[in-house]
């Protein structure tokens, strides 16, 4: 029997730290059996790695979030390089550009993004991209610094035309979709997802953020990736187990991870 995978969860979020077992068992009850835990800083990846040591169905990504670039020190960079050598780290993320909250450090954001891509290339890992209001600049950075081992857009909210443009880049580009896909007015994102071949798509929650329709206003959890999957199966007019198997293969192929 197939299962769902959440490719982007902030398991280290303060609100989940008190009861990770509860979180994980609710995920399992909803047939969500593999989780990629994303990190924004060292504190995050240390927590996520501790969980991954306990639970083999958790993988970890480590990187510096674009919103925090102004505080990075060379010690931080050494820490990142060291942790990326850990085989439990499947990708560098989440990294990228965010012009929505603050445009003070856009140049520095691009530098930090590029440096992390180069590091990912050196250590042979793919990257997980956070991009908000910065699709053009993200394209420029990727053009000048291709992610040799692949790039996954987390919660892709760009246009279908932009997705086409990204796919012309000489690298393996994929797109993850989460709860926002199910929002009533989000025709643009549904149009983007339907324009992509299934082997370019993955599912995620971005929990605790971006709960799907019906759960809005509540804290999101990995268990809810199931609703995104069911929604997509309906949109695609296909069976859930076909999607589950496709997304499982996509995960193995992109992250070079063996899954049951
Ligand atoms: Zn995130």
Q: Specify the pLDDT at position 52.
A: 97
Q: Specify the pLDDT at position 204.
A: 98
To the question of pTM greater than 0.95 for the whole model, the response is yes
**Rounded average pLDDT per 10-residue block, the chain, 260 residues:** 96 97 98 98 98 97 96 97 96 97 93 98 98 96 98 96 96 97 95 97 97 93 98 96 98 96
Rounded to the nearest angstrom, the distance between the alpha carbon of 238 and the centre of ligand 1 is: 28
- Other residues' Cβ atoms within 10 Å of the Cβ of residue 77: 15
Rounded to the nearest angstrom, the distance between the alpha carbon of 40 and the centre of ligand 1 is: 8
* Cis before 213? omega within 30: no
16-25, Cβ contacts within 8 angstroms, sequence gap of 24 or more? 16/207, 16/208, 17/47, 20/51, 23/221, 23/222, 24/55, 24/222
Q: Specify the pLDDT at position 1.
A: 82
pLDDT digits (tens, 9 = 90+) for 194-204: 999 999 999 99
Domains of the chain, start order: 4-255 (3.20.20.140)
Rounded to the nearest angstrom, the distance between the alpha carbon of 236 and the centre of ligand 1 is: 25
- Other residues' Cβ atoms within 10 Å of the Cβ of residue 242: 13
- Structure-block tokens of residue 163: 């997705």
Rounded to the nearest angstrom, the distance between the alpha carbon of 244 and the centre of ligand 1 is: 22
How many CA atoms, within 13 angstroms, populate the side-chain half-sphere of residue 71?
A: 8
pLDDT digits (tens, 9 = 90+) for 231-250: 999 999 999 999 999 999 99
Q: How far apart are CA 45 and CA 64, in angstroms?
A: 10
Rounded to the nearest angstrom, the distance between the alpha carbon of 245 and the centre of ligand 1 is: 24
Who surrounds ion ligand 1 at CB < 5 A? 206
Q: Specify the pLDDT at position 101.
A: 85
Rounded to the nearest angstrom, the distance between the alpha carbon of 150 and the centre of ligand 1 is: 18
Rounded to the nearest angstrom, the distance between the alpha carbon of 185 and the centre of ligand 1 is: 22
Q: Hey, CA dihedral for 180, 148, 32, 12, is it positive or negative?
A: negative
Rounded to the nearest angstrom, the distance between the alpha carbon of 129 and the centre of ligand 1 is: 9
Q: How far apart are CA 12 and CA 52, in angstroms?
A: 11
Q: Specify the pLDDT at position 102.
A: 86
Rounded to the nearest angstrom, the distance between the alpha carbon of 10 and the centre of ligand 1 is: 6
């Amino acid at each position: 029997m197939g299962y769902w995978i959440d490719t982007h969860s902030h398991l280290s979020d303060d609100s989940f730290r008190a009861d990770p077992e509860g979180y994980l068992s609710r995920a399992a009850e909803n047939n969500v059996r593999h989780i990629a835990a994303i990190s924004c800083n060292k504190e995050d990846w240390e927590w996520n790695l501790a969980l991954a040591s306990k639970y083999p169905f958790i993988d970890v990504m480590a990187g510096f979030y674009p919103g925090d670039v102004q505080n990075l020190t060379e010690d931080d960079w050494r820490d990142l390089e060291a942790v990326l050598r850990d085989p439990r780290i499947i990708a560098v993320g989440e990294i990228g550009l965010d012009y929505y909250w603050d445009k003070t450090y856009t140049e520095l954001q691009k530098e930090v993004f590029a440096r992390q891509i180069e590091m990912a290339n050196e250590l042979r890992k793919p990257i997980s991209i956070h991009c908000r209001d910065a699709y053009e600049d993200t394209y420029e950075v990727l053009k000048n610094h291709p992610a040799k081992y692949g790039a996954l857009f987390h919660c892709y909210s760009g246009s279908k035309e932009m997705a086409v443009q990204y796919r012309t880049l000489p690298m393996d580009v994929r797109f993850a979709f989460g709860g926002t896909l199910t929002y009533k007015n989000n025709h643009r994102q549904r149009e983007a997802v339907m324009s992509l071949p299934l082997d370019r798509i993955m599912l995620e929650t971005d929990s605790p953020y971006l709960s799907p329709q019906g759960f809005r206003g509540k804290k999101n959890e990995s268990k809810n990736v199931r609703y995104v999957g069911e929604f997509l199966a309906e949109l695609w007019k296909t069976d859930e187990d076909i999607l589950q198997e496709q997304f499982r293969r996509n995960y193995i192929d992109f992250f070079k991870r063996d899954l049951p």
